[in-house]
């Protein structure tokens, strides 16, 4: 290939390094992401739905339909992104670079909140802070005699807090992986030159981890703007709408055209923000921090601040993990949601079907639907983790190694797209896309394959972004030396890039597994009775007033996710220097 | 080639006509005749908008051993989206469709040929004709104003819907966002359709003729005033029930929800009661309908399920109707005695919706509500 590239300018374009790779990745992304979304756009341009555009953008409805929700959405996106990077970055710095006590515990706990479905956290917020605005039962704090004001019980403030406490662990994972690869050479050089901790942080650590910070902020921004459950649960009582709750509402009442238009605008707006973020990163050319030599820097000594900082970190972690878990568990045992901590029963877990109790639904251990859903969900998580990481690795490798050219920019942008598409819209697009037979291929509706393909596309941003932050730091010189010795693409990838980047890739795989296991919005439309998944069953029970079954299933989801992460941590221990002393 | 094609066409023709014949035949069969065919099919799938399908499942399998009923509890709005997607994919998952949201069901599912009507011959003479077509209504359900009978032991604290727009009820009226649940959009639509009654009720309440301002009619005026009075929107009827019904409240809010949810008062610790005497009406009554998939995978078993859901020959309809024989649900079978604890249907003042009429201005009312949020 190298020979061909040199032999003449005419053939150079065809055989330029990476052209084949770029083409392959672009084709995959087109099939997984672009075509389904294109179907959505085309749908809104049909003669009877095209009117949805002026309705949303200029009509008398546009203020409430679009502009007000847009304002709320952007506020949420920006505040949550900043909050997550600050909180996640702070924790990552503590765990990776300092001698804070119980670093391992903090490191493990910081990855947990992301595994708790955000609707669970929102419900938990309600059980604690709910005031008497909507009547009925008040939250625990109001019950203790405190007067909780509306702004703390409902609307923007609780939405922001819940989302930050949910998404910060995403930022933590990305930033910690990047911080762990900061080369000791640079830090030691600075130390020798007499630089103090703060100066090393601002002068070296922050600049070289910029891609990770931007990636983390982007992931959190995109996640926050497309989150549905939290603003719906906490914002609706004060009529706070975001673009995603609007989109959901429109599709729910059958105004699919307007819903899709809002969805498309959401994609475009978030896309603009992320493009700007991407520009910031690609303005600098080298972020390589893993080179052929170098080792671990010694940790910053926090001295007197060790325990106070530990206390601060643990406060955030307990609030975002233990509190919702306790509330969920308690409510899976309490027959009436009115009294969370009394009259506990195991019926919702172990009970046989009893017609006088919960419409005769048996406890989840005896419920065939749930048992089958566990199998389907676990298989789905594993399959998507593997397919997602393969596509994610190809895409992130391509963009990191061949940064120039429109094709790489396109790969980056396209792979980010699904994050901005609310899951329910992505699911709807996939039904339109693969729901009907295409040529000789049969309709995939209701098959396991459809779930895997849609989930792979939907979760690609996670695999690509986490992979990219790590791969960008694997110095190109390592690969170049391998290429000089005659190693081919597959061999270079297998022998150098993958082993060095395995931590980021595995982290991405875990994120994907966990995300799909507890995902609701994507699968809620793809779900069919023959292919049940846990989160949809939980949602069904919750929406029908069987909160105990929903919470019991959520506890199962939680258990599976935590077990997966702990197992992965164990397998990875050797490659997680930040968890070793 | 031609011969082959012709033969094939002929074969297809014969197949199609036998299927058609068989289907027509099935429609006339009694449950006793359907049973062996249904048992040969062995399974049947039901999409149901109510969780009570769980009880039906157990009762059906006990009554007809050898047929596995798979009941799925899916909201009406979602069923509509799902059935449309399945039709597009050429897949039929559900055999029986049990659904409300009739304004949308009629236009988007029945007229498009995704679902088909079926009337079990056994009960045909015991269901009023208005409930037989275009789809068989099994019962009437409600979205009506409810209050907390513990908090207000002397009866409903309001006597007119217009009371809800008064200052004293600001922030104390709860309902599900009509843009997220079709039943509630139907309720708002009906209020507009009944503008004359709303105008009369206004005059009775405030002693002066209504001033419409920027509203087109009294119904719209009411909706605008209600929203302006800090109406509280929640995500599901259970949230409304909990807000309105929870025991131990001093001045509980009011809310629009299902009359039949009163059946859960004891289990959930609620004190829900219907405000039947408010003028001009407490809300709406709408049908819950039963239909078959256009091409059900288990045509005999599907018909057997519909027959079962219409109740047996006993006084209260037996196990098939038991989950629906509760105060606040009105079974359409004329020979079944009304539930003793409920306000009798002819004394129940809620408006009966006319799905076709609702469908004409439903989207417009949705737009109005959109501008109010």
Of the candidates B185, B233, B363, the beta carbon closest to that of A237 is on B233
Q: Which domain holds residue A192?
A: 72-240+271-285+304-331
DSSP code of residue A113: G
User: Domains (ranges, CATH) in chain B?
Assistant: 30-140+286-331 (3.40.190.10), 142-285+351-372 (3.40.190.10)
pLDDT score of A7: 43
Least confident of A80-94, A430-444, B156-170, B263-277: A430-444
Q: Please say whether the beta carbons of A534 and A558 come within 8 A.
A: no
CB contact under 8 A, B323 and A359: yes
pLDDT score of A253: 66
Q: What is the 3-state secondary structure (H, E, C) of chain B?
A: CHHHHHHHHHHHHHHHHHHHHHHHHHHHCCHHHHHHHHHHHCEEEEEECCCCHHHHHHHHHHHCCCCEEEEEECCHHHHHHHHHHHHHHCCCCCCEEEECCHHHHHHHHHCCCCEECCCCHHHHHHECHHHCCCCEEEEEEEEEEEEECCCCCCCCCCCEHHHHHCHHHCCCEEEECCCCCHHHHHHHHHHHHCHHHHHHHHHHHHCCCCCCCCCCCHHHHHHHHHHHCCCEEECCHHHHHHHHHECCCCCCCEEEECHHHHHHHHHHCECEEECCCCECCCEEEEEEEEEEECCCCCHHHHHHHHHHHCCCCCCCCHHHHHHHCCCCCEECECCCCCCCCCCCCCCCCCEECCHHHHHHHHHHHHHHHHHHC
Q: Is A84 a domain residue?
A: yes
Q: Please say whether the beta carbons of B39 and B67 come within 8 A.
A: yes
A299: confidence class by pLDDT, cuts 50, 70, 90: confident
What interface predicted TM-score (ipTM) does this complex get? 0.70
Q: Which residues of B touch A428 (CB under 8 A)?
A: 81, 85
Mean pLDDT taken over chain A: 78
Q: Please say whether the beta carbons of B67 and B43 come within 8 A.
A: yes
Checking if the pLDDT of B301 tops 90, the result is yes
Kindly identify which residue of chain B lies nearest to residue A447, measuring between CA atoms.
Answer: B91
Checking if the pLDDT of B51 tops 50, the result is yes
Min Cα separation A78/chain B (Å): 24
pLDDT score of A298: 65
* Token output for B144: 């009506």
Least confident of A472-476, A563-567, B211-215: A472-476
B6-26: pLDDT as tens digits? 555 555 544 444 454 455 688
Q: Please say whether the beta carbons of A130 and A338 come within 8 A.
A: no
Tell me the count of A-B CB pairs closer than 8 A.
147
A248 lies within 8 A of chain B by CB: yes
Min Cα separation B244/chain A (Å): 6
Checking if the pLDDT of A470 tops 80, the result is no
pLDDT score of A423: 75
* Token output for A425: 């819209």
**Nearest alpha carbon to residue A380 among A372, A391, A390:** A372
Q: Is A144 a domain residue?
A: yes
Least confident of A349-353, A461-465, B184-188, B303-307: A349-353
> Using CA atoms, how far apart are residues B337 and B372, in angstroms rounded to an integer?
43
Q: Is A188 a domain residue?
A: yes
Q: Considering its fold, how many domains does chain A have in total?
A: 1
Min Cα separation A25/chain B (Å): 28
For chain A, what percent of residues have pLDDT higher than 70? 81
A250 lies within 8 A of chain B by CB: yes
pLDDT score of A289: 54
Q: Which residues of A touch B172 (CB under 8 A)?
A: 135
> Using CA atoms, how far apart are residues B359 and B102, in angstroms rounded to an integer?
9
A64: confidence class by pLDDT, cuts 50, 70, 90: confident
Q: Which residues of B touch A134 (CB under 8 A)?
A: 174, 232, 234, 239, 243, 253
Chain A (64-83) residues lying within 8 Å, Cβ to Cβ, of chain B: 64-65
- Please give the average per-residue pLDDT across A291-307, as a whole number: 68
CB contact under 8 A, A64 and B249: no
A133 lies within 8 A of chain B by CB: yes
- Please give the average per-residue pLDDT across A112-128, as a whole number: 76
Mean pLDDT taken over chain B: 88
pLDDT score of B155: 92
A285: confidence class by pLDDT, cuts 50, 70, 90: very low
Return the number of other C-beta atoms located less than 10 Å from residue A573's C-beta: 11
Instruction: Give the H/E segment covering residue A570.
Output: helix A547-572
A247 lies within 8 A of chain B by CB: no
- Please give the average per-residue pLDDT across A202-216, as a whole number: 83
Of the candidates A241, A337, A359, the beta carbon closest to that of B54 is on A359
DSSP code of residue A296: P
A485-503: pLDDT as tens digits? 888 778 887 887 777 777 6
Checking if the pLDDT of A228 tops 90, the result is no
Query: Pick the residue with more confidence: A71 or A235?
Result: A71
CB contact under 8 A, B77 and A252: yes
Alpha helix (H) residue ranges in A30-131: 35-44, 52-57, 62, 68-97, 103-109, 118-129
pLDDT score of A59: 82
Checking if the pLDDT of B339 tops 60, the result is yes
Least confident of A181-190, B33-42, B161-170: A181-190
Checking if the pLDDT of B89 tops 90, the result is no
| Dihedral over Cα of A8, A407, A450, A118: its sign | positive
pLDDT score of A5: 42
pLDDT score of B5: 52
Q: How many Cα atoms are found within 13 Å in the side-chain-facing hemisphere of A420? A: 27
DSSP code of residue A149: -
Least confident of A468-472, A556-560, B95-99, B117-121: A468-472
Q: What is the dihedral of CA B245, B251, B256, B262, to 10 degrees?
A: 20
pLDDT score of A77: 93
Q: Is A106 a domain residue?
A: yes
Q: Which of A197-206, A508-517, B193-202 is most confident?
A: B193-202
Query: Pick the residue with more confidence: B260 or A2?
Result: B260
pLDDT score of A453: 93
Supply the pTM of this predicted model: 0.74
Least confident of A84-98, A216-230, A382-396: A216-230
Query: Pick the residue with more confidence: A337 or A486?
Result: A486
Query: Pick the residue with more confidence: B88 or A309?
Result: A309
Residue of B44, B47, B89 to mutate when probing chain A, most A C-beta within 10 A: B89
Min Cα separation A245/chain B (Å): 9
pLDDT score of A6: 42
pLDDT score of A473: 63
> Using CA atoms, how far apart are residues B274 and B256, in angstroms rounded to an integer?
9
Q: Please say whether the beta carbons of A265 and A246 come within 8 A.
A: no
Query: Pick the residue with more confidence: A138 or B359?
Result: B359
Domain holding A119: CATH number? 1.10.3720.10
Least confident of A149-158, A419-428, B63-72: A419-428
| Dihedral over Cα of A21, A23, A26, A30: its sign | negative
A535 lies within 8 A of chain B by CB: no
Min Cα separation B125/chain A (Å): 31
B241-275: pLDDT as tens digits? 888 998 888 889 999 999 998 888 887 788 999 99
B330-331 vs B136-148, strand pairing mode: antiparallel
B205-252: pLDDT as tens digits? 999 999 999 899 999 999 999 999 999 988 778 789 888 998 888 889
Q: Is A79 a domain residue?
A: yes
Checking if the pLDDT of A356 tops 60, the result is no
pLDDT score of B186: 93
């Amino acid at each position: 290939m190298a020979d061909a590239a040199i032999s003449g300018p005419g053939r150079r374009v065809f055989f330029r390094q990476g052209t084949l790779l770029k083409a392959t990745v672009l084709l995959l992304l087109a099939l997984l992401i672009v075509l389904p979304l294109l179907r959505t756009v085309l749908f809104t341009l049909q003669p009877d739905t095209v009117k949805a555009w002026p309705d949303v953008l200029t009509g008398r409805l546009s203020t409430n339909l679009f502009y007000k929700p847009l304002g709320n959405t952007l506020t949420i996106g920006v505040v949550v992104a900043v909050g997550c990077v600050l909180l996640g970055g702070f924790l990552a710095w503590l765990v990776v670079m300092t001698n804070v006590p119980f670093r391992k515990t903090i490191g493990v706990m910081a990855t947990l909140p992301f595994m708790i479905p955000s609707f669970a956290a929102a419900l938990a917020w309600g059980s604690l802070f709910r005031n008497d605005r909507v009547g009925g039962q008040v939250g625990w704090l109001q019950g203790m005699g405190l007067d909780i004001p509306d702004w703390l019980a409902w609307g923007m403030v609780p939405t922001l807090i819940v989302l930050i406490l949910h998404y910060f662990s995403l930022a933590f994972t990305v930033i910690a992986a990047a911080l762990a690869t900061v080369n000791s050479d640079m830090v030691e050089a600075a130390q020798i030159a007499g630089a103090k901790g703060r100066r090393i942080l601002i002068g070296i650590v922050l600049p070289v981890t910029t891609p990770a910070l931007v990636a983390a902020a982007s992931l959190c921004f995109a996640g926050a703007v497309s989150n549905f459950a939290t603003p719906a649960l906490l914002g609706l009582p004060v009529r706070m709408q975001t673009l995603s709750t609007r989109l959901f509402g429109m599709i729910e009442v059958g105004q699919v055209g307007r819903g899709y238009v809002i969805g498309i605008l959401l994609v475009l707006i978030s896309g603009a923000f992320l493009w700007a973020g991407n520009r910031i990163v690609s303005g600098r050319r080298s972020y390589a921090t893993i080179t052929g030599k170098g080792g671990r820097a010694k940790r910053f000594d926090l001295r007197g601040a060790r325990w106070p900082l530990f206390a601060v970190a643990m406060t955030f972690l307990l609030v975002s993990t233990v509190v919702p878990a306790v509330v969920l568990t308690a409510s899976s045992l309490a027959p009436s949601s009115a009294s969370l901590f009394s009259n506990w029963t195991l019926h919702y877990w172990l009970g046989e079907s009893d017609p006088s109790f919960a419409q005769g639904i048996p406890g989840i251990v005896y419920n065939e639907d749930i048992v089958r859903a566990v199998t389907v969900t676990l298989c789905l998580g594993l399959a998507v983790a593997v397919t997602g990481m393969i596509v994610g690795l190809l895409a992130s490798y391509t963009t990191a190694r061949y940064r120039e050219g429109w094709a790489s920019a396109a790969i980056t942008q396209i792979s980010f797209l699904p994050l901005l598409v609310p899951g329910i819209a992505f699911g709807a697009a996939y039904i339109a896309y693969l729901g009907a037979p295409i040529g000789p291929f049969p309709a995939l509706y209701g098959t396991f394959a459809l779930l895997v393909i849609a989930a792979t596309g939907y979760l690609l941003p996670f695999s690509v972004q986490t992979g990219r932050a790590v791969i960008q730091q694997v110095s190109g010189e390592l690969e170049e030396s391998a290429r000089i010795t005659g190693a081919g693409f597959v061999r270079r990838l297998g022998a150098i890039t993958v082993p060095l980047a395995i931590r980021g890739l595995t982290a991405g795989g875990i994120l994907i597994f966990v995300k799909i296991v507890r995902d609701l919005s994507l699968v809620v439309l793809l779900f069919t009775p023959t292919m049940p998944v846990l989160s949809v069953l939980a949602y069904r029970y919750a929406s029908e007033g069987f909160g105990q079954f929903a919470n019991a299933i959520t506890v199962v989801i939680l258990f599976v996710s935590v077990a997966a992460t702990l197992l992965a941590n164990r397998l990875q221990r050797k490659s997680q220097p930040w968890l070793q002393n | 080639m031609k011969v082959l094609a012709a033969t094939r066409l002929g074969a297809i023709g014969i197949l199609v006509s036998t299927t058609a014949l068989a289907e027509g035949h099935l429609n006339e069969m009694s449950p006793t005749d359907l049973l062996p065919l249904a048992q040969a099919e062995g399974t049947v799938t039901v999409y149901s908008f109510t969780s009570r399908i769980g009880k039906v499942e157990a009762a059906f399998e006990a009554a007809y051993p050898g047929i596995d009923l798979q009941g799925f509890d899916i909201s009406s709005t979602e069923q509509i989206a799902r059935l449309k997607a399945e039709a597009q994919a050429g897949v039929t998952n559900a055999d029986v469709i049990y659904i409300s949201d009739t304004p949308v069901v009629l236009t988007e599912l029945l007229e498009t040929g995704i679902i088909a009507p079926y009337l079990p011959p056994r009960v045909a003479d015991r269901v009023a004709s208005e409930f037989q077509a275009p789809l068989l209504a099994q019962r009437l359900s409600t979205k009506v104003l409810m209050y907390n009978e513990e908090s207000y032991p002397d009866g409903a604290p309001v006597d007119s819907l217009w009371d809800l727009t008064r200052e004293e009820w600001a922030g104390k009226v709860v309902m599900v966002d009509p843009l997220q649940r079709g039943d509630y959009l139907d309720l708002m639509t009906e209020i507009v359709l009944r503008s004359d009654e709303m105008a009369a009720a206004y005059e009775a309440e405030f002693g002066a003729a209504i001033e419409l301002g920027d509203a087109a009619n009294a119904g719209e005026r009411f909706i605008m005033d209600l929203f302006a009075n800090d109406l509280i929107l929640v995500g599901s009827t259970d949230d409304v029930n909990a807000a309105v019904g929870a025991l131990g409240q001093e001045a509980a809010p009011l809310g629009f929800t299902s009359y039949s949810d009163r059946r859960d008062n004891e289990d959930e610790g609620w004190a829900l009661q219907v405000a039947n005497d408010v003028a001009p009406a407490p809300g709406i009554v709408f049908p819950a309908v039963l239909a078959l998939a256009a091409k059900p995978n288990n045509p005999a078993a599907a018909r057997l399920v519909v027959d079962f859901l219409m109740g047996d020959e006993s006084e209260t309809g037996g196990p098939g109707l038991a989950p629906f024989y509760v105060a606040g649900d009105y079974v359409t079978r004329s020979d079944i005695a009304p539930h003793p604890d409920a306000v009798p249907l002819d004394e129940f003042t809620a408006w009966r919706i006319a799905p076709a009429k609702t469908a004409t201005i439903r989207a417009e009312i949705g737009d109005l509500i959109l501008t109010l949020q």
